[in-house]
Amino acid sequence: MSTEPFRNVCLLPQTNQLLGLYTIIRDRSTARPDFIFYSDRIIRLLVEEGLNHLPVMDRPVETHTNETFKGVGFKGKICGVSIVRAGESMEQGLRDCCRSVRIGKILIQRDEETALPKLFYEKLPEDIADRYVFLLDPMLATGGSAIMATDVLIKRGVKPERIFFLNLICSKEGIDNYHKAFPDVKIVTGAIDRGLNEDKYLVPGLGDFGDRYYCI
């Protein structure tokens, strides 16, 4: 699906390799070890793409041949914030790309009486307002949890343009809802599904990501 109608959405190039990875993790018959392995590969691609969008500054270095290489370095510090529990599956992919990266956590669960998301727990770096933040959650369906998590970050002083929301699959409805609340947050995703079913699951989707990743 083209992202032309969507402002501030970066869709990974839909290469045969990426489509092959999604074919494996969407397949209901894929065993858990394979689901984890191929999901991790996609997560790594999402993190790499997210890093491409961070601002840089000139950083010349001297090489072993006594030449100067006109390189670049990131302007600021970053951190990851996972929406527990499924978002925790994306933490290792961030660590694989960024050594000693700080990780925060936000726990949001659906209130059984109201069916609305409710904040239960947050643990974030004290200096998070000075960092670029990768918000991590594999699925963007209605956007309720992501909106609440982003609101927590902004209340802690993080500027919306410093937040990058990384997810494997999202829906148009989720994008619309999320960007209605936070139009300046960039979404980095690998797939945009056609919609949601009556149970608010992404379709074609892949089921419950957290259950498939963590449960035997």
- Beta strand pairing status for 56-62 and 68-74? antiparallel
- Whether 131 sits among the annotated catalytic residues: the reply is no
Active-site hit among 85, 96, 142, 208 = 208
Written as one letter, the residue type at 26 is: R
In angstroms, the CA 17 to CA 19 distance is: 6
Question: Distance between alpha carbon 78 and the CA centroid of its chain, in Å?
Answer: 14
- Is residue 114 within 8 Å of 145, Cβ to Cβ? no
Written as one letter, the residue type at 202 is: L
- Whether 58 sits among the annotated catalytic residues: the reply is no
- Whether 142 sits among the annotated catalytic residues: the reply is no
- Is residue 170 within 8 Å of 187, Cβ to Cβ? yes
Active-site hit among 111, 127, 176, 211 = 211
Active-site hit among 7, 32, 59, 110 = 110
User: What is residue 12's DSSP assignment?
Assistant: P
Active-site hit among 63, 65, 68, 114 = 114
- Whether 110 sits among the annotated catalytic residues: the reply is yes
In angstroms, the CA 3 to CA 5 distance is: 6
Q: Which residues are catalytic?
A: 110, 114, 208, 211
